[in-house]
Amino acid sequence: MKRFNQLTPSQQSLALAHELTSILQGILEGILRFDVDGAIENDDLQARIDAALASTKTSCRQPRFARECILDACREDLMTMARAQAEDAWYLEPGEDAIRLSALDAAA
């Protein structure tokens, strides 16, 4: 297993892209919101996301372009989150296996 800092620059880029895609998917599916209890006070991230999606730009109202509208409004914040997630992850090398906790829970 490797940590983020042990990956090649190309692998790091792919890991960041993977995490950013995951965050954006969560936002677009309504699973990930930033205006819930415990959110950082005075953080306007959710408001900026909502404004981007409600933008008068017609393209922002189409699901395939919504991602770009969100990134235009919040790229720095979302990239910071993606980097933190990528740096916290473990990366399996070929031939290595891992046991998912969900598999353990299902077996119990």
What pTM does this model have? 0.83
Q: How far is CA 63 from CA 27, 29, 66, 68, in A?
A: 12, 10, 5, 10
Nearest C-alpha neighbor of 15 from the set 89, 77, 69? 89
Number of domains present in the structure of the chain: 1
40 confidence band (pLDDT: 50, 70, 90): low
Domain of residue 56, residue span: 4-107
Each residue's pLDDT tens digit, 54-103: 876 777 777 778 899 999 999 999 999 999 999 999 999 999 998 888 88
What are the Cα distances from residue 3, in Å, to 8, 10, 55?
11, 14, 39
Residue 103: CB atoms within 10 Å: 9
Locus of tokens 């598999």? 103
Tens-digit pLDDT profile for residues 70-80: 999 999 999 99
C-alpha span between 42 and 61 (Å, rounded)? 27
61: number of Cβ within 10 Å: 13
For residue 77, what pLDDT is reported? 94
